[in-house]
Amino acid sequence: MTNSSSSSFLVTGGTGKTGRRVADVLQSRGFSAKVASRSGAVRFDWTDRTTWGPALTDVGAVYVVGSEDPSAVDDVRAFVTAAAEHGVRRLVLLSARVWEDLDDGSGSVLATEQVVRASGLEWTILRPTWFAQNFTEFPYFVAPLTKGELRIPAGEGREPFVDLDDLADVAVTALTEDGHNGRTYALSGPRAMTFGEAVAEIARASGRELRYVPVTEDEYRAETIAGGESEEIADVFVELFRHIREGRSEAVSNGVREALDRDPSDFSNYTARTDFSVLG
Ligand SMILES: NC(=O)c1ccc[n+]([C@@H]2O[C@H](COP(=O)([O-])OP(=O)(O)OC[C@H]3O[C@@H](n4cnc5c(N)ncnc54)[C@H](OP(=O)(O)O)[C@@H]3O)[C@@H](O)[C@H]2O)c1
């Protein structure tokens, strides 16, 4: 990208699991990154469009963290228009691999992908599997693991968890280098694992007593709602875990190799370098 050294990169969701890493990698490669979110160094709020213009000023490319909220597609459409008006030339959208399987055509995150594809800007779409770092950074996993048990209805289904350092590497490469325009990268780790295997590896690496307990959908829904979550959130997770349980998420994807010409990092690499103090 010709102006990549003279302008900033806007990282939405910049304080989140992926955005934080994308900003770190950009900065470690000498680029200027605007870390944007409601609590970020650059204030950016999807629900407050007055924050968009200042965030988009002097920005050449944007990392866009999507949302599961179907109404978000209108915000993303307006944001993409604003980005083009501010001279942004390139977008890298965080989507999810699962949505292609679950899409019912009624305004899902895939609609956000379509907005980005139709933007007239250069675009790259990232479709990751479940993140390895969920076990230490995703409240819905961390909270139960601090009590020793992850109780979810994923059965013996397998998931090739992607390492977020790989995702950030792909995102930054797509933001800063040519050759990724119009590409949709499905990003996974190299090994499909059951939740039992993943939790056992974390238990071994962290020296903690942790176990995975496969529960029924009804048990999970009841426990999640009793824990203070809405029925809507519980139902979304039930559907996501069913997708894994039914073996529909077990395929390994090639996106890390396609984008970076190297293999993705194994789950054991994540457990070897992770600080597990968050698990108590
Ligand atoms: N977890 C997984 O395994 C997985 C797998 C595939 C895809 N995904 C996708 O990953 C996305 C989430 O990305 P992530 O995990 O990197 O983020 P995250 O850790 O969930 O953090 C959310 C980020 O968005 C910001 N944010 C929340 N509400 C906002 C608002 N109204 N306006 C502006 N910023 C807002 C938050 O910062 P503030 O609170 O400061 O605003 C934070 O930086 C979801 O779309 C999900 O579908 C997740």
Query: What is the amino acid identity at position 58?
Result: D
The protein residue whose alpha carbon is closest to atom 7 in ligand 1 is: 96
pLDDT at 1: 46
| 97 CA: nearest ligand 1 atom | 6
pLDDT at 107: 62
Mutate to test the pocket of ligand 1, among 38, 71, 129 (most ligand atoms within 8 A of CB): 38
- 8 A C-beta contact, residue 180 and residue 259: yes
pLDDT at 55: 98
* Ligand 1 geometric centre to CA of 95 (Å): 11
Q: What angle do CA 80, 84, 86 make, to 5 degrees?
A: 115
* Ligand 1 geometric centre to CA of 65 (Å): 6
Better-predicted residue by pLDDT, 73 or 128: 128
The protein residue whose alpha carbon is closest to atom 32 in ligand 1 is: 45
* Ligand 1 geometric centre to CA of 19 (Å): 8
pLDDT at 42: 98
Alpha helices (H) along the chain:
17-28, 52-56, 72-85, 98-102, 109-117, 134-137, 139-146, 164-176, 195-206, 217-226, 231-245, 255-260, 267-273
Pocket of ligand 1 (CB under 6 A): 13-19, 37-40, 44-47, 65-68, 94, 96, 128, 130-131, 134, 138
pLDDT exceeds 60 at position 80: yes
Reported as a single tens digit per residue, the pLDDT across 173-187 is: 999 999 999 999 999
Q: What is the mean pLDDT of the chain?
A: 94
Reported as a single tens digit per residue, the pLDDT across 98-123 is: 988 888 776 667 889 999 999 999 99
Residue 64's nearest CA partner among 12, 28, 16, 17 is: 12
Reported as a single tens digit per residue, the pLDDT across 23-71 is: 999 999 999 999 999 999 999 999 999 999 999 999 999 999 976 666 6
pLDDT exceeds 70 at position 2: no
The residues that bridge with 150 in the sheet, in sequence order, are 212
Which part of the chain has CATH 3.40.50.720?
8-128
Q: Quick one: pLDDT band at residue 6, thresholds 50, 70, 90?
A: very low
* Ligand 1 geometric centre to CA of 249 (Å): 21
The protein residue whose alpha carbon is closest to atom 3 in ligand 1 is: 130
Reported as a single tens digit per residue, the pLDDT across 145-196 is: 999 999 999 999 999 999 999 999 999 999 999 999 999 999 999 999 999 9
What's the average model confidence in pLDDT over 216-235?
96
Alpha-carbon distance 185 to 199, whole Å? 27
What homologous superfamily does CATH list for 8-128?
Answer: NAD(P)-binding Rossmann-like Domain (3.40.50.720)
**Class level of CATH domain 132-162+189-250+265-280:** alpha beta
pLDDT at 69: 67
pLDDT exceeds 70 at position 127: yes
3-class SS at 66? coil
Which part of the chain has CATH 3.90.25.10?
132-162+189-250+265-280
Q: Quick one: pLDDT band at residue 22, thresholds 50, 70, 90?
A: very high
pLDDT at 4: 44
Q: Quick one: pLDDT band at residue 260, thresholds 50, 70, 90?
A: very high
* Ligand 1 geometric centre to CA of 103 (Å): 20
pTM of the model: 0.96
